Amino acid sequence: MRAALWLLVLFAVAVAGALFAGNNQGTVTLFWPPYRVDLSLNLVVLLLVAAFFFAHAVMRALAALFDLPRQALRWRTQQKERSMHAALLESLSHLLAGRYIRSRKAAEAVLAQEASLSASGQEPGNAAQLRAIAHLLAGESAHALQDRAAREDHLRQALEQASTRDAQETRDGAVLRAARWALEDREPKAALELLQGLPLGAGRRTLALRTRLRASRLAGEPMEALETARLLAKHHAFSPVAARSIVRGLAIDLLNGAYDPAQLQRVWGTLEPAERLLPEVAIHAAQRLVSLRGDARQARDWLLPVWEHQSELGDSLRVKLVAALEEGLESLDAAWLARIETAQRANPRDATLQYLAGMACMKRQLWGKAQQLLTQAALGLQDAGLHRNAWRALAELAEQREDAQAAALAWKRAAGE
C-alpha cells in the first residue's frame, strides 16, 4: 500500500513538473555591465537545484573530513571496550573451568583496561557495575586459592563500586557470595550478619534462604533454621519429601534444646499444627517430656493424633510409639486403656499391640490377662528391645506366682540365651 502511494506521488510530481516546464515562457535577465545575459526560468531552476546538491555534498565531505579524529577516537575506545568485555568473559570462563590463577589475572586485566578508559575520559556507562563484577570474579578466584586477604580486599572494593542505586542487584550478589565464602570458612555467624544486611526482598529469595538455612544450622540456631525451612517449603524450593524431612529434623533439634518441661511446652507451642502431626516429632516430644519428668498425660495428648493413625505407620515408628506410651503407663487413664484394648482387639495378631496391652494390664495388676498377652507378644515381636522387655515382664509375673522354673526360663530368654 505504501509503495502504491509513493508511485502516485511520483506521478503527480512528474505531471506538475511537465505542466510547469512545458509552457513556461519566463526568462531571467542578469545585468553585468556592459553585458546582459538572458536565461530561461527552467534553466535557472535546474542550476539552483544542482548548486544546492553540490553545496550539500561539499558540506558532507568537509564534515566527514573534520570528524575523522573523533571517529578514530571512537574506534579506539570501542576496541578497548571490546577487549575489556572479552577479558571479562575470559575470566568467567576460566573460573568455571577451575583455572583460578588465569581467571584472577583476566579480572585484573579488566580493571586495568577500565581504569585506562576512565583516565582518558571515555568511562563506560556501566563502569561501576563492570568494576564490581570484575572484583567479584577476582575475589572468587582468590577464595578458591585460599588467599583470604586478597578476597576480602576485592569484596570491599566490589561493595564500594556497587553502592550506587543502579547496581543494587550486583551488591546483593556480592553479599550473597560473601555469605557463601563465610560458610565455607566455617563462620556461620559472619554469614548470618551479612545476610541480615540484605534488603527485605533480596533476603526472601530462594538463594538467600538456602544460605540462611545452612548458616543457621551450622550456628546451632534451630528456631531460625526452622523458620527459614518453612519459607523455603512455601516457595517450593524443596520437594515435598525433602521439605518434610528437613522440617522434621529441625523440629527435633529444637525439642532437644529444651531442658525442662515448661521450656519444652513453649517449644511445642511454637511448632505449626502440621509439624505437630508428624509422627517422629510427636513421639520425640512425648519421650522428651517424660524424660524431663513432665506430665505423662500431656505427653499422651501429644501422641493422640499419631495413635489415631498408628495403623498407617511403619514398623519402626510403631515400635517408637509403643515405647513412648509405655513410659507413662503408671498414670494411664481409663480412656487410654480402652483405646489400647480396642486397637488390640481390632488387630489380635499384632505383636506390638499385644505387648502394649499386656504391659498396660500389668500396670493395672491384671496379672492373668497381662501374662496371656505378653506370652503371645513375646513369640511374635521382631524388635529386640520390646522382645527383651516382654520376657522380663513375664519373669516378674512368674516370680510373683513363685514359679521359679518359669521365671528362670523367662530371664534366660530376656538375656537372649
Is the pTM of the predicted complex or chain greater than 0.75? no
pLDDT value, residue 294? 83
pLDDT at 97: 92
Residue 200: predicted pLDDT: 81
Mark the ranges of the chain whose per-residue pLDDT is less than 70.
16-24, 165-166, 416-417
Nearest to 395 by CA among 383, 408, 384, 385: 408
Give the pLDDT of residue 386: 81
Please provide residue 194's backbone torsions phi and psi, each rounded to the nearest 5 degrees.
Answer: -65, -40
Give me the amino acid identity at 107: A
Q: What is the pLDDT of residue 46?
A: 81
Please write the tens of the pLDDT for every residue from 364-394: 777 788 788 888 888 887 888 888 888 888 8
CA distance 112 to 173: 23
Res 60: pLDDT: 92
Give Dmax over CA atoms of the chain in angstroms: 162
Pair 305, 277: CB distance under 8 Å: yes
Q: What does the pLDDT read at residue 113? A: 87
**In sequence order, what are the beta bridge partners of 38?**
29
CATH of range 334-417; options 2.10.60.10, 1.25.40.10, 2.30.40.10, 3.30.460.80? 1.25.40.10
Q: Return the residue matching grid coordinates 493424633.
A: 305
Query: What are the residue boundaries of the structural domains of the chain, listed by start?
Result: 334-417
